Amino acid sequence: MLPFKLVYSDAYYLPIGEHVFPAEKYRRIRDRLLATGVAEASDFLEPQPTTDQDILLVHKPEYLHKLKTGTLSPREEMELEVPYSRELVEAFWLAAGGSILAARHALSDGVGISIGGGFHHAFPDHGEGFCMIHDVAVAIRRLQRDGKIRNAMTVDCDVHQGNGTAAIFAGPRTTGEPLPSVGPGTRSSDLSGKMRGAQAGAVFAISLHQHNNYPAWKPPSSIDVDLPDGVRDDDYLAWLDNAVSSGLRQFEPDLLCYIAGADPYREDQLGGLSLTIEGLKKRDELVFRVARARNIPVMVTFAGGYAQKVEDTVTIHCNTVIAAKAVASGR
């Protein structure tokens, strides 16, 4: 039995037909975790869809209305890059409910993992890049509203920048101390501007991503690490370590939301970095280790993953659970 919960529903499946996003990955991850004995049936929790009220903690009423009534404009639907349907709306409400549940369990168990979510390209007033609703932001705002957390940090390791996260939380933003990073837009810490015991409601957003990739416009996160094409395991891990350490020197989060995209993988169809499956597992271990050393609860969502072989995407996501288990049990 795992020392934490996995949040999953068969209804996480996104009804988007033939698509580069392998919507069946969620079920396959669950099946693999059970088949390999990493998890037992009792480790899984079934989420409930979140409420409109929770969605409105992040999203604009006009956007929610369009989603509920099926009145997105053709342009808005094109930007979403997945075909609109009533069922798709339900799947995103469920993903947000799953992230809330995972975050609650992170607070009690140290870790909580949703086998889904991570829709970091959703903005308050529109969706894009396969993301209709920002489930992680909804979870953060709901837990803040409930008084369970004051602040949070997002650590986004999807190959694509977390533009929705940056737009929703818009700061605290810092510049100054150089990170071992390249490219324009790289932001880092300013040790003179520490945010220890940061103001209630604050969310510190870290994003490590490929610079030459979607989204073209990258609104500033608290720390953006714009990676050049083809970055390999060792460099990636050094950048990640530096970014997270830098963030935690400035900000003490009550919850760390880890967006564990599988798409920095070298065989990803939508990514241009060169991480191996083993390197991605080390990435996960690094995040869990740093958080555990500081007693920061970690909520995990899975975000993107478009490997040529869906099996590889499934392996990378399963390894995140294995890494969490290893770190939680002190190995």
CB of 156 to Zn ion, least distance (A): 9
Spell out, one character per residue from 87 to 106, where the chain touches Zn ion: x when CB under 5 A holds, - when not: --------------------
- Residue 39 CA: distances (Å) to CA of 100, 301, 304: 21, 17, 22
CA distance 56 to 163: 19
CA distance 112 to 303: 15
Binding to Zn ion (CB under 5 A) within 114-173 occurs at 158, 160
Stretch that binds Zn ion, among 4-12, 201-209, 220-228, 255-263 (CB under 5 A): 255-263
Tokens of 3: 């020392």
CB of 261 to Zn ion, least distance (A): 5
Q: Which residue lies nearest Zn ion, judged by its C-beta? A: 304
CA distance 48 to 94: 6
CB of 267 to Zn ion, least distance (A): 14
Size of the site for Zn ion (CB under 5 A): 5
Question: Kind and range of the H or E element at 236?
Answer: helix 233-250
263 is a site residue for Zn ion (CB under 5 A): yes
CB of 165 to Zn ion, least distance (A): 12
**43/128 with CB nearer Zn ion:** 128
**20/78 with CB nearer Zn ion:** 20
**128/158 with CB nearer Zn ion:** 158
CA distance 269 to 266: 9
Stretch that binds Zn ion, among 89-97, 108-116, 276-284, 303-311 (CB under 5 A): 303-311
As a whole number of angstroms, the longest Cα–Cα distance in the chain is 51
Q: Who contacts 49 (Cβ-Cβ below 8 Å, separation ≥6)?
A: 90, 93, 94, 96, 97
**104/218 with CB nearer Zn ion:** 218
CB of 26 to Zn ion, least distance (A): 16
**112/304 with CB nearer Zn ion:** 304
Stretch that binds Zn ion, among 80-88, 141-149, 262-270, 289-297 (CB under 5 A): 262-270
Stretch that binds Zn ion, among 79-87, 202-210, 241-249, 302-310 (CB under 5 A): 302-310
- CB 158 within 8 Å of CB 303: yes
Stretch that binds Zn ion, among 6-14, 100-108, 261-269, 284-292 (CB under 5 A): 261-269
**98/304 with CB nearer Zn ion:** 304
Burial of 216 (0-12, 13-18, 19+ CB in 10 A): exposed
Q: What CA dihedral angle connects 152, 66, 214 and 272, to 10 degrees?
A: 80
**307/324 with CB nearer Zn ion:** 307
- CB 113 within 8 Å of CB 324: yes
CB of 198 to Zn ion, least distance (A): 28
Exactly one of 39, 304, 318, 320 binds Zn ion (CB under 5 A); which one?
304
- CB 181 within 8 Å of CB 284: no
The number of residues making up the chain comes to 331
Stretch that binds Zn ion, among 59-67, 196-204, 257-265, 294-302 (CB under 5 A): 257-265
Report the candidate in 321, 287, 248, 294 with the shortest Cα–Cα distance to residue 156.
287
CB of 268 to Zn ion, least distance (A): 8
268 is a site residue for Zn ion (CB under 5 A): no
Give me the DSSP letters along 151-218: -EEEEE-SSS--HHHHHHH-------SPPS--STT-----GGG-BTTPPTT-EEEEEEEESSSS-SS-
Instruction: Catalog residues that contact Zn ion under the rule CB under 5 A.
Output: 158, 160, 261, 263, 304
